[in-house]
């Protein structure tokens, strides 16, 4: 069965650079979530989209933005990267109704040097 | 707001020992409850879930029962294996489009 696909798997950037992370949800899933997981931390919710519109907003810095496209894939854009942005970024998808389990991608490991 | 509290780790057990990882929650309404597992170097995987009170989720020998009276969803396994070594996250999903809320995670190490 198709799963949530994230790319790239690993990304190395320098401070003040930009990064774009991509997420391809499970077919027919209408909701996408982005989570950030720092080393040894629990995943923190960043932002979500339902039917290409922003649905909910968590602890996403102003330097980050995201969108969901017509094919339901989503991109997380990160600018002016800081050392503290180094983390594992997970994308998850689900059906909004009924709200059931989330399916997670394998994540993008971002290292900011 | 909604929150999940898990027992602090790390938890170290010998193979074939009994495992309990406590999880309690605070939420309005009637949330669904989940356990996710994260193996070293991998993403989060759903382990089991329960969507209403008294439901029991089970998978791979793990079990958890949704206890509304104690707002708990403790994870148990009768006999752990070395391959169960991972980080376990309790999580809550409330109705509507609210995001999944995770506990802090509990690292389990099983030694042979």
The answer, yes or no, to whether residue A97 has pLDDT greater than 90, is: no
Q: In which band, very low, low, confident or very high, does the pLDDT at B28 lie, cut at 50, 70 and 90?
A: confident
Q: Give the model's pLDDT for residue A98.
A: 55
pLDDT tens column, B58-73: 999 999 999 999 999 9
Contacts for B51 with CB less than 8 Å, ≥ 6 apart: A100, B32, B33, B66
pLDDT tens column, A15-70: 999 999 999 999 988 889 999 988 878 788 899 998 899 988 888 999 999 999 99
CA distance linking residue B17 with residue B80, whole number of Å = 6
Contacts across the A-B interface (CB distance below 8 Å): 57
Selected for mutation to probe chain A from B44, B64, B102, B103 (highest A CB count within 10 Å) is B44
Q: Which of residues 10-39 of B touch A (CB under 8 A)?
A: 32, 34, 36
Q: Give the model's pLDDT for residue A106.
A: 86
**Are B100 and A107 within 8 A, CB to CB?**
no
| B59 in reach of chain A (CB within 8 A) | no
CA distance linking residue A64 with residue A46, whole number of Å = 9
Q: What percent of chain B lies above the pLDDT cut of 90?
A: 66
Q: Give the model's pLDDT for residue A100.
A: 59
Q: Which of A33, A48, A107 sits opposite B43 (nearest CB)?
A: A107
**Are B101 and A45 within 8 A, CB to CB?**
yes
What number of CA atoms fall less than 13 Å from residue A96's CA on the CB side?
15
Q: Give the model's pLDDT for residue A69.
A: 94
């Amino acid at each position: 069965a198709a799963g949530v696909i994230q790319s790239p798997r690993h990304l190395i950037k320098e401070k003040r650079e930009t990064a774009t992370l991509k997420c391809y949800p499970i077919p027919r899933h209408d909701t996408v979530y982005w989570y950030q997981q720092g080393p040894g931390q629990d995943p923190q919710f960043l932002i979500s989209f339902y039917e290409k519109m922003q649905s909910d907003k968590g602890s996403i810095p102003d330097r980050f933005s995201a969108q969901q496209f017509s094919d339901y894939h989503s991109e997380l854009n990160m600018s002016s990267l800081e050392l503290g942005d180094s983390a594992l970024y997970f994308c998850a998808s689900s059906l909004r109704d009924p709200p059931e389990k989330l399916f997670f991608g394998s994540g993008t490991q971002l290292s900011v040097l | 707001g909604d929150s999940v509290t898990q027992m602090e780790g790390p938890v170290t057990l010998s193979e074939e020992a009994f495992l309990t990882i406590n999880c309690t929650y605070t939420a309005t309404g009637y949330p669904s409850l989940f356990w996710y597992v994260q193996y070293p170097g991998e993403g989060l995987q759903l382990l089991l879930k329960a969507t209403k009170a008294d439901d029991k989720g089970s998978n791979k020998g793990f079990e958890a029962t949704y206890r509304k009276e104690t707002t708990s969803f403790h994870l148990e396994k009768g006999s752990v294996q070395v391959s169960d070594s991972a980080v376990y996250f309790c999580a809550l999903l409330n109705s509507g489009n609210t995001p999944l809320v995770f506990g802090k995670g509990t690292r389990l190490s099983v030694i042979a």
